[in-house]
Amino acid sequence: MPMDRVLRHPVLDVPGPGPTVEFTFDGRPITARPSEPISSALIANGIHIFGRHERDGAPQGIFCANGQCAQCLVVVDGRPVKACLTPVRPGMVVRSTVGYPELAPDDAPVSLVPRVDEVRTEVLIVGGGPAGLEAARELAARELDVTICDDKPTLGGKLSLQTHNFFGSVADCHAGDRGQAIGELLAAEVAALPTVEIWTESPVVGVFDGGVVGVVRRGRFTAVRPKVLLVAAGAREKALAFPGADLPGVYGAGAFQTLVNRDLVLPSRRLFIVGAGNVGLIVAYQALQAGVDVVAVVEMLPEVGGYKVHRDKLLRLGVPVYTSHTVLRAEGREHVERVIAARVDPKFHPIPGSEVAFDVDTVLVAVGLSPVNELFEEARRIGLRAYAAGDAREIAEASAAIFSGRIVARTILKDLGFPDTVPEAWRQRALELSAHPGPVLGVYPVPAERRVYPLLRCEQEIPCNPCTEVCPLDSITILEGNLLGRPKLVGDCSGCLKCVAVCPGLAITLVDRRVDPTGARARVTVPWEMPEEWVHPGEVVPTSGREGEPVGEARVVRILAGRALHHRRLLVLDVPASEADRVAGVRVRDPVPPRPVPGAPPVRDDEVVLCRCERVTRASVIEYLRATGTRDMNAVKAGLRSGMGPCGGRTCGELILRVFRELGIEPGSVTPGVPRPFTQEVPITAFLSEENDGRGR
Amino acid sequence: MAADVDAIVIGAGSVGNPTAYFLAREGRRVLVLDELSASGQGQNKAAIGGVRATHSDPAKIRLGQESLEIFSHWKEETGTDIGWKPGGYCFPAYDETTESTLRTLLGVQHAYHLGIEWRDPAEIRRVVPGINPEGLRGGTYSPGDGQVNPLKAAESFTHEAVRRGAEYHYREKVTDLLVDDHTVRGVRTDRGEYRAPVVINTAGARGSQIARMAGLELPVAPESHEAGISAPVKEFLAPLVVDLRPGPEGKTANFYFGQDADQQVIFCYTPRPAVPGENRTSTFEFMPIAAARLVSLIPRLKNLTIRRVWRGLYPMTPDGSPIVGWAPDVKGLLLGIGLCGQGFMLGPGVGRTLAALASGTRPILDPDVLATLSPSRDFYRGTKESLR
């Protein structure tokens, strides 16, 4: 299949050529992998435009890749469906949606009756990510009947999309392992529990009168009556509004991870990332792993919001991170072709004359996450006993979500009258794990007079300890005695490389000065997670220092690999002895300076689409708010239809609140939109069954 | 104490907004008070937007005609599109009971010169593409009826009223009516007091609570109904369709649906038995029942996607007719409440009537017809209207 697919990956298992499925899109034959989503099959075939919007013909493509919006709507065999949720089937006829989809005039009378399966459970958990899974495990320990619902085919939540090694503690949250592996591990543990029922491909779509929770269980509407609802539905990405943000090729980091890391398609060749929090930095790294060039990461704030180690590993590879910069606009005729960015002043206003252009095909927006907690709020309002855990409660790392799930589960048990308590150590650990990146404190000095030693470039408080756990000589310790402190080498080093292989921040190298009796050369071993073909033994490669500064050149002596190395390869480099302590990585790309385009046209409000579903611009929102003086999101919705689309205002809601604020209206004084079922659109057939199947009521 | 305004309207909803608009258009100074934070945020936005004159009760026919007149000319008048869709109403008949009910009503309706006729099955199938032909006996079709977007209408009436000087206060709750000497003098709110010679109660589901502040007991009690809306599909259905049969599931009376100006299929049923109270949380039973009724009437709707459901209140009166007119025993208090779920479709007609009464001009309803809506009438006299 000579297509836009990930064919090699340093971490993920890439299946070899296997069976294929043929279908057509607007008459064109398409070859797909069996049961992959239509959207991924189309993108793998270079098709990024799935339809055109009814209102203005704007091209529509993938946006959330998560079933939350409806931008990827296509018509399959006469039925409008979301391409990102619908697996390909041999021979299916897929058409692009131009304007509103037509209902096929399929008028044969049907005998379908109302259908609701009613199910009771003690605890219904929404979301099978780290928080939900860990909560299930705790609850099952008391033999409670637990049902976990997840809209995806497999459990693990967003862990399943993560190829990087996680921070945290080795002893109690699998630190040092890759996200995907942690997800599989947690899911397998829960799958083995006899009192836990797992419903995959089963989105929870609303909370109804009397505390009934509506689940579309594999296409069938099901009424669940839980004693307790635990919402562990994770987070959604915040949107950013700028001209061109509605073009195909602009989407969230999560959508990119879904396409690349789950479906192994390559939607991009040249990527631009907005936001240098942990999500933006990590997805940049993951993009490189898949072979996508990351042209730049921009961050509005003067410092990156994510961990310094995540930034530094990008800088070392040669990816520029521009702080105090923002995206002005994305340009392109039917798809992103370039991005204009600019420096911002201390008040975050773009500085005229500082505009620069980057030629890219894709822009990822990674400007923060919001809890998915609507079901929790609604359940509380209705009077159902409800709890939230993980990101749905507080945005933090997956390791923190693991503890959040355990703690909330214990709280539920206590509230149900079980003699359980939340151990104080858990609370402590949860606090540590959810700590935000702290100040950069610098590294401990290089040990003098040593011939072989690790350099621990861990210079910021990070809740992480794998290096201290793997050292066979117990030579690495955290003096502060908690997870957050910086590791220090306090004993001998045998040069075993375990710490280099495990450090999730890729912040450890091993210097070995024993090999060259003349003392002119040294060996430096650095962790390496990039595509295999980028570096070969014997090759001379440019080296980078801790923060990406060029150091010199090194010869690749050999490449170590193996299970014991956490699927990570290690490059053994031969470097001048004088550079050995400075070499922290290998540069793979030369940062191309951006093209200055001073005097780029200023952003007009009527170019900025806030509500993508209904194509509502910033200009019309401003005009509406000024004309009506309203303080009610429901009125904006009524007047402009913003939030009336398939996503229910989940994308534009915060953007519109921001406009309120800009007009001097405190968002807290604005009446929020009234949430209503369904949290995502439901095919009408989910509510019906054949008259004679004996399952309806 | 001098009056602050000529009239105070309580409730910026389906009835209050047109009332304020017509008063302001006549140059009256109007203050509209609503406890919610914007116009039309009570039951107005729960309406599905059908507007018809083809009722069976003279007062409703007349009010419906007036409302249609106002809605259908609104864009010419104001330049604002409120989603008016002149697609008519169609009542298909699949059984003898329905056919005979509809045919009987035609007599009354023709007496009022309503544009409604009996159509044979072939014609009904033309009017409602894809309608299930099995057992279809024909039906009535009234092309002069139509649909309006309630959200846009509320906003536009408000905008036009404000443009003409009406003042709207949101997030201000009326806590008492100021009455002395059997005469209303104004209202007290949680923020202050306002004086006016006329106070108009258009508080919808809260209408009887407001009336009680002046010592009036009016038999208005809310019932809860549910509705839903699909994702948009290419336009295929012009009329609102009403199926008068009780549902085979035994939980519903009539079922009605249409495709609105935004091309979404919007639908609603009358629960049986009725659900008294103010519960506005959707039930999980609604959608399966509505889905079955939709696809049994138009099989191609099995390819529809459902976007949202909600619940709204029908402020019911014992005889099914609205309460429109001067309050007994309290001078200056006008009532426009108890619209029985037809507040939106009858709102402009009722608003114009209330405005005329308040300013002493001739109302659109003849006195004998208006008398049938009087707050002083015997609510338990006759039978309910057959075509609610």
Tens of pLDDT, residue by residue over B369-380, are: 999 999 999 999
pLDDT tens-digit map of B166-205: 999 999 999 999 999 999 999 999 999 999 999 999 999 8
Residue contact A688–B231, C-beta within 8 A: no
pLDDT of residue A472: 95
Percent of chain A at pLDDT > 70 equals 99
Tell whether B294 is within 8 A of chain A (Cβ): yes
Q: What confidence score (pLDDT) does residue A438 get?
A: 85
Domain span(s) for CATH 3.30.9.10 in chain B: 86-144+221-316
Whether residue A449 is predicted with pLDDT greater than 90 in this model: the reply is no
pLDDT at A569 over 90: yes
B284 to chain A, any CB pair closer than 8 A? The answer is yes
**DSSP class of residue B320?**
S
Size of interface A-B (CB pairs under 8 A): 175
Angle of helix B150-163 relative to helix B343-359, nearest 10 degrees, comes to 20
Distance CA B186, CA B198 (A): 7
Q: Which residues contact B194 (CB under 8 A, 6 or more apart)?
A: B4, B5, B8, B31, B33, B186, B187
> Is pLDDT at A659 greater than 60 in this prediction?
yes
Is residue A242 within 8 Å of residue A603, measured between CB atoms?
A: yes
Q: What residues of chain A lie within 8 A of the CB of B171, using their CB?
A: 631
Q: Which of A206, A221, A684 lies at the smallest CB-CB distance from B302?
A: A684
Instruction: Report, in this order, helix, strand and coil percent for chain B, each rounded to 5.
Output: 30, 25, 45
Q: Which residues of A touch B234 (CB under 8 A)?
A: 99-103
Q: Does B275 touch chain A (CB under 8 A)?
A: no
How many residues are there in chain B?
A: 388
Whether A299 contacts A275, CB under 8 Å: yes
Say whether pLDDT at B284 is over 90.
yes
pLDDT at A30 exceeding the cut of 90: yes
User: In the Cβ-directed half-sphere of A228, how many Cα atoms lie within 13 Å?
Assistant: 22
Predicted confidence at residue A1, as pLDDT, reads 47
Query: Which two tokens mark A460?
Result: 């910021």
- Kindly determine whether residue A684 and residue B230, on different chains, have CB atoms separated by under 8 Å: yes
pLDDT confidence of residue A2: 52
Q: Do A1-104 and A116-235+371-433 show the same overall fold?
A: no
Percentage of chain A with pLDDT > 90?
A: 83
Give residue A411's region: left, alpha or beta (phi > 0; psi -120 to 50).
Answer: alpha
Task: Find out whether B71 and B80 touch, Cβ atoms under 8 Å.
Answer: no
The verdict on a CB contact (< 8 Å) between B45 and A638 is yes
pLDDT at residue A50 is higher than 90 = yes
- Mean pLDDT within A505-524: 95
pLDDT(B384) > 70: no
Q: How far is B145 from chain A (nearest CA, A)?
A: 23
Please tell me if residue A646 touches chain B, with a CB cutoff of 8 Å.
yes
User: Is residue B289 less than 8 Å (CB to CB) from chain A?
Assistant: yes
Best of A124, A687, A691 to mutate (most B CBs within 10 Å, chain B)? A687
Give the residue from chain B lying closest to A614, CA to CA. Answer: B262
Q: How far apart are CA A330 and CA A682, in angstroms?
A: 33
Is there a contact between A676 and B291 if contact means CB atoms under 8 Å apart? no
* Distance, CA of B280 to CA of A299 (rounded, Å): 44
| Model pLDDT for residues A394-441, shown as the tens digit of each residue | 999 899 999 999 999 999 999 999 999 999 999 999 998 988 888 899
Please, what is the average pLDDT of chain B? 95
pLDDT value at residue A3: 82
- Kindly state whether A628 is in contact with chain B, defined as any CB-CB distance less than 8 angstroms: yes
Residues in CB range of A2: below 8 A, 6 or more apart: none
Mean pLDDT of A137-149: 97
What pLDDT does A23 receive?
Answer: 97
Whether residue B277 lies within 8 A of chain A, CB to CB, comes out as no
**β-bridge mates for residue B324, sequence order:** B336
CATH tag, B7-69+150-220+319-371? 3.50.50.60
Mean pLDDT of A13-42: 94
Sequence-distant (≥ 6) Cβ neighbours of residue A439 within 8 angstroms = A460, A461
> Parallel, antiparallel, or unpaired for β B7-10 and B193-195?
unpaired
Q: Which of B152, B263, B300 sits opposite A104 (nearest CB)?
A: B300
Q: What local confidence, expressed as pLDDT, does residue A70 receive?
A: 85
Question: What is the DSSP annotation of B342-360?
Answer: -HHHHHHHHHHHHHHHHHT
A228 strand-pairing partners: A123, A385
**For B194-242, how does the pLDDT look when each residue is reduced to its tens digit (9 = 90+)?**
999 999 999 998 999 999 999 999 999 999 999 999 999 999 999 999 9
Domain ranges of chain A: 1-104, 116-235+371-433, 239-367, 452-586, 606-669
Q: Do B37 and A685 touch (CB under 8 A)?
A: no
Spell out which residues of chain A touch residue B152, defining contact as CB-CB under 8 Å.
Answer: 638-639
Q: Does B163 touch chain A (CB under 8 A)?
A: no
A79/B contact by beta carbon, under 8 A:
yes
- The CATH label, of 2.60.40.10, 3.30.9.10, 2.30.130.10, 3.10.28.10, for the domain at B86-144+221-316 is 3.30.9.10
Tokens 């139509």 -> residue: B146
Looking at CA atoms only, how far is residue A668 from chain B in angstroms? 13
C-alpha B227/C-alpha A541 separation (Å) is 67
DSSP A117-129: EEEEEEEEEE--S
Contacts of B289 in chain A (CB under 8 A): 114
The Cα A144–Cα B198 span in angstroms is 63
pLDDT for residue A697 is more than 50? no
B225 in A contact zone (CB under 8 Å): no
Asked if B236's CB is within 8 angstroms of A102's CB, the reply is yes
Sign of CA dihedral A349, A350, A351, A352: negative
- What superfamily would CATH give domain A116-235+371-433? FAD/NAD(P)-binding domain (3.50.50.60)
B234 contacts A116? CB cut-off 8 A: no
Residues of chain A contacting B236 with CB distance shorter than 8 Å: 102-103
**Architecture of domain A239-367 in this structure:** 3-Layer(bba) Sandwich (3.50)
The pair of structure tokens assigned to B112 is: 């009022």
pLDDT, mean of residues A543-572: 91
pTM over 0.90: yes
| The pairing of beta strand A146-149 with beta strand A117-126 | parallel
Helical pair A652-662 and A633-640, crossing angle rounded to 10 deg: 110
Q: Name the residue facing B284 among A78, A208, A638 (closest C-beta).
A: A208
Cβ-nearest to A105 among B37, B159, B300: B300
The percentage of chain B sitting over the pLDDT mark of 90, rounded to a whole number, equals 96
**Once rounded to an integer, what is the mean pLDDT over residues A649-654?**
91
Say whether residue A153 is in contact with chain B using an 8 A CB cutoff: no
Exposure b/e, A278-314, CB count within 10 A at least 16 = b: bbbbbbbbbbbbbbbbbbbbbbbeeebbbbbbbbbbb
Asked if A628 and B37 come within 8 Å (Cβ–Cβ), the reply is no
Kindly determine whether residue B287 and residue A641, on different chains, have CB atoms separated by under 8 Å: no
**Residue A696 pLDDT exceeds 50:** no
Average of pLDDT values for A76-94?
93
Bond before B276 cis per omega within 30 degrees: no
Average of pLDDT values for A649-668? 94
Judge if ipTM > 0.85.
yes
Highest CATH level, class, for A1-104: alpha beta
CB contact under 8 A, A646 and B155: no
Please, what CATH class does the domain formed by A606-669 belong to? mainly alpha
Q: Hey, is the C-beta of B262 within 8 angstroms of any chain A C-beta?
A: yes
* CB-based contact B283 A210, cutoff 8 Å: yes
B278/A contact by beta carbon, under 8 A: no
The 10 Å Cβ neighbour count of residue A115 is 22
Q: Is the pLDDT of residue B387 over 80?
A: no
